[in-house]
Structure 1
Amino acid sequence: MAAGRSIRPYHLVIFGASGFTGQFVVEEVARCATESPTGSPLKWAVAGRSRQRLEEVLKRAAEKLSMPELTADIEIIVADVSQEESLDVMCQQATVILNCVGPYRFHGEPVVKACISNGAHYLDICGEPQFLERMQLEYHTQALNRGVYVIGSCGFDSIPADLGILYTKSQFKGTLTAVESFLNITAGPEGFCGHDATWQSAVYGYADRGSLYQLRKKFGHKPLPVVGARVLKRGSVFFSKEIEQYAIPFIGSDPSVVKRTQRFLYEEEQQSPVQYSAYVGVGGVFSLVRLFCGGLFFWFMGKFSLGRKLLTMFPSFFSFGFFSKSGPTMKQIEDTSFSLTFFGEGYSEGSDPTQGRPNSKICTQVIGAEPGYVATVSALVQAAVTLLNELHSLPRRGGVYTPGAAFCKTSLIDRLNNHSIKFSVKSNQ
């Protein structure tokens, strides 16, 4: 069984703390460490391959947050995904590991294995459906038997979408049957930029997409029942009246994660499943043309090993500046925000979902600061705090879960409302 909080020296260990995202997680944990509802501050440490780089991260965080105590009080654990023993030592010291080392298809599994073997709960910010689903297929039973929770995609992919559906369902007066979400990212004069690690995940995920189809067959799942009218899929490109701009299907992990959550709620909680489609706004005609050109480059070069090598070597060129090896500037982060709008339909209280068309609608919204390094970091840390303080509200005794499945009976949405991510109802008819 997983060790309790009082037994291990650290509540949280941030693995990959010296990485681009990891350094933001360090700052957020430092800010939130004194907010524990139990009244006792969180005890935490940082981990990674280089002690020197970790020391530098703590020094920068101490200066930025005016917390000189960070450099003296926060312990450093040297651990490497290629050294199993070092991961074991790290996991033996933590109640929860926050894994920030990606791409997860290459570096995630050893950390999951070490957490399960050594009784530490595991959270990550993965947006790679193949890794997330494979971990569930191969490690759910082991994690369950060991009393360990493995919860992936606890960042922008996919907490806003997954918990946004749960929130919409909780606010709907009747039986919610279908939801479409539209993501809109607003950037400042310098534009939006993501880090190279996210770009790499996309490149290798596209190249190996055939394996995902084969992986899903191994689950042997029967299709979820369709309650109410079946929702027709939109085209690959369309003008959305809902957000008044062109939109395309969202190719991240959100649809995969939401569907897994809906299956869990249907099979374990006997809840009616919700049909879900995710889209992202791309702007006007000029943005659409630029996206088409970039997509064509990506599609063609992603087919060949040399093309994938070039894509990963020159992310800024091939993504038209949307991704870079240096990541966004602080100005870009400060000027960027997101909104995720949900348009749901279903049957009002007293109506029969098996008869006629849906007769009730709802619109909800999740808004937040910059998605990659502010909202993601806040979501991850609040998920970890929720796990630590509301373990009794999580399903079973352990296992591999989506955020929605793991946290559906907790106060995570309330916590997020107080930390950079806001849930609200726009209309309810």
Structure 2
Amino acid sequence: MISSLSHLNRLSYSKIAAQTLYRMASQAVSGGRYDLVVFGATGYTGQYVVEEVARVARMDQERRGEGAAPLKWALAGRSENKLKDALATARKELGLGLEDVGLILADITNQDSLNKMAAQSTVLINCVGPVSYQVYGEQVVQACIENGASHVDISGEPQFLEGMQLKYNKAAEEAGVYIVGACGYDSIPAEMGLVHMIKNFKGELNSAQMFVKMRGKGGAIHTGTMESAALAIANNAQVARIRRELFPEPLPKPKFKVAKKGLHRNNEVGLWGIPMPTDEPVVYRTQHYRHTVLKERPVQFQQFLGVRSFFQGAGLLLGIAYFVLLCYFSWTRKLLLKYPEVLTAGVFKRSGAKREELKNMGFTATLLGRGWSQALLEGTDEHTQPPDASITVNVSGPDPGYGATSVMMVACAHTILCQKDLIPGRGGVMTPGSAFANTDVINRMTERGMTFTVEDQK
């Protein structure tokens, strides 16, 4: 009986999906696609992304003028009622009509619906949470490549990001679409901060250290972030295998190598640094691209969370070790996913933080660069003297999890839409640093309240 009901539910979904897709096709551009489609629009992060797309669409219209065609965009998810609720919330928060926004039914467990959604998208903004991209990301990437849509996501999971590049880079290139992951807080401050640093450094950069400092006291972190982190830790052993296949030739060992640091005080930023290498795998892929494709010097990169005191840093390190231990064993991981509020003492909650709490939050990422004031002379293989020049770049924005992430993600999607000709190659699975280095994506983010500034250069 249960099996029969399940079969009827699938048939019912297919019928509803077909009706909705037919209805939405009449709202889309005649014979074409929506410019941007937000998939997972009814989720916690998705709601912020929907509102950011609405703001960008309004700014785009104002910039073009009244006679210009407006940005065509749509929300996608498995529940039409929830999509309407997400749109209603956006109307309330922004005071905009949003009458022309489309709705598309698409279920992550139904590949046919994903294909139809991708076929209506020029650029798909994939907010697949709260479940991990490792679990449900690949089928969306596959649908985009097979149906000619570019794709951005906010994954921070090396197994997914590097696995997609290994498996789909050639197919994406042949399809003429760009698949760009890590377009949120993971890993735009690091990636585009380094791009900004390299462009402004008067010489040749050797290394950079990034210290991230949080501002304000926000509420709990949504459990979707926790679930992604838990699965990334659990599957970490697979990353080494994927990376060996993806990059059979590792980066050359630098002559002036920067030693890895643990908990330490950095007097330049006046903070204690806790190793937090979440962006380092993405940066490594970009530096590999710079070395192998652009024939440029790869930059060594280390990432730290900055705190005021040694005791705060030591306490956070113990908390991180506790979380990693919970994620490492399958039985403790199951308990963590079942009782997140209890086992993390309220740090992670299914309800996430409230809007008012997030408004009080922000971040600043300070990147300290070291290099040489003069580039290598032609025909010279390596510098013979240690780095003699420095540069400091600050990247700042609103709350990193949702406010800044939605700004970054939409800016990346809008850049692919408007400046595809400035992205290298004719398609592929790329990092933000390799895809957007020659675009105006930083300007798009600064228009929306973020800052990228060169504070000091010696």
Give the unaligned 5+ runs of structure 2: 1-28
**Cα distance in structure 1, aligned partners of 2:457 and 2:316:** 34
More displaced 10-residue stretch of structure 1: 128-137 or 265-274: 265-274
- In the alignment, structure 1 residue 18 sits paired with structure 2 residue 45: no
Q: Give CA deviations for 1:272-316 in whole Å, capped at 9, x if unaligned.
A: 211111111244244335324423432332232220012122323
1:177 to 201, 206, 226: 206
Q: TM-score, normalised by structure 2?
A: 0.88
Deviations 1:89-114 (A, max 9, x none): 10111101000013100110000000
**2:11 alignment partner in structure 1:** none
- For residues 64-90 of structure 1, give each alpha carbon's deviation from its aligned partner in whole angstroms, at most 9, with x where no partner exists: 2112x32x4222111011101100110
Query: How far apart are residue 157 of structure 1 and its match?
Result: 0.6
SS of 1:81's equivalent in the other structure is coil
Q: Residues of 2 paired with 1:53 and 1:6: CA distance?
A: 26
Letter in 2 for 1:244: G
Is residue 229 from structure 1 mapped to residue 256 from structure 2 by the alignment? yes
Structure number with bigger Rg: 2
Task: Return 56-65 or 134-143, whichever deviates more.
Answer: 56-65
Relative to structure 1, the CA distance from residue 35 to residue 6 in structure 2 (aligned partners, 3 Å threshold; closer, same or farther) is: farther
Counterpart of 1:13 in 2: which secondary structure? strand
Percent identity, aligned pairs only, is: 39
- Note if contact 1:154-1:403 (Cα within 8 Å) is conserved in structure 2: yes
**Is 1:366 aligned to 2:395, yes or no?**
yes
**Residues 6 and 273 from structure 1, CA distance in 2 versus in 1: closer, same or farther, beyond 3 angstroms?**
farther
CA contact (8 A) 1:294 1:320 kept: no
2:15 paired residue number: none
Contact 1:294 1:318 in 2 (8 A): no
Q: Which residue in the other structure is 2:20 paired with? A: none
Q: CA deviation at 1:223?
A: 2.3
1:92 lines up with 2:119 in the alignment: yes
1:414 positional shift: 1.6
Q: Deviations over 1:241-279 (max 9, x none)?
A: 233333211132x11111111111222222221111111
**Equivalent residues of 2:162, 2:246 under 8 A apart:** no
- Within the candidate set 200, 205, 208, 2:235 is matched to 208
Does the 8 Å CA contact 2:33/2:119 hold for their aligned counterparts?
Answer: no
RMSD: 1.8
Partner of 2:274: 248
Give the one of 317, 322, 325 matched to 1:297.
Answer: 322
Equivalent residue, structure 1, for 2:264: 238
- CA deviation map 1:150-204 (0-9, x unaligned): 000111111111010011111110111111111111123xx45321111011111
Mapped contact 2:153–2:184 kept (Cα < 8 A): yes
* Paired residues of 2:219 and 2:354 also in contact (CA < 8 A): no
Q: Residue type of the partner of 1:27?
A: E
Contact 2:163–2:242 at 8 Å: present in 1 too?
yes
Shift of 1:422: 0.7
Q: Secondary structure at the match of 2:109?
A: coil
Mapping for residues 64-103 of structure 1, pairs under 5 Å:
64-67=93-96, 69-70=97-98, 72-102=99-129, 103=132
Distance 1:220 1:334, change over 3 A: closer
* Other-structure match for 1:422: 451
TM-score computed with the length of structure 1 as normaliser: 0.93
Question: After TM superposition, what 4+ stretches of structure 1 lie above 4 angstroms from structure 2?
Answer: 350-353
Select which of 359, 384, 389 maps to 2:413. Answer: 384
- How far has the Cα of 1:423 moved from its partner? 0.4
- 1:146 is the counterpart of 2:175: yes
Aligned amino acid, residue 33 of structure 2: P
- Aligned AA (2:52): E
User: Is the Cα–Cα contact under 8 Å of residues 34 and 40 in structure 1 kept in the other structure?
Assistant: no
Structure 1 range deviating more: 215-224 or 136-145:
215-224
2:300 pairs with 269, 275, 297, which one?
Answer: 275
The count of corresponding residues between Structure 1 and Structure 2 is: 419
The CA deviation at 1:341 is 0.4
- Aligned ranges 1:385-400 → 2 under 5 Å: 385-400=414-429
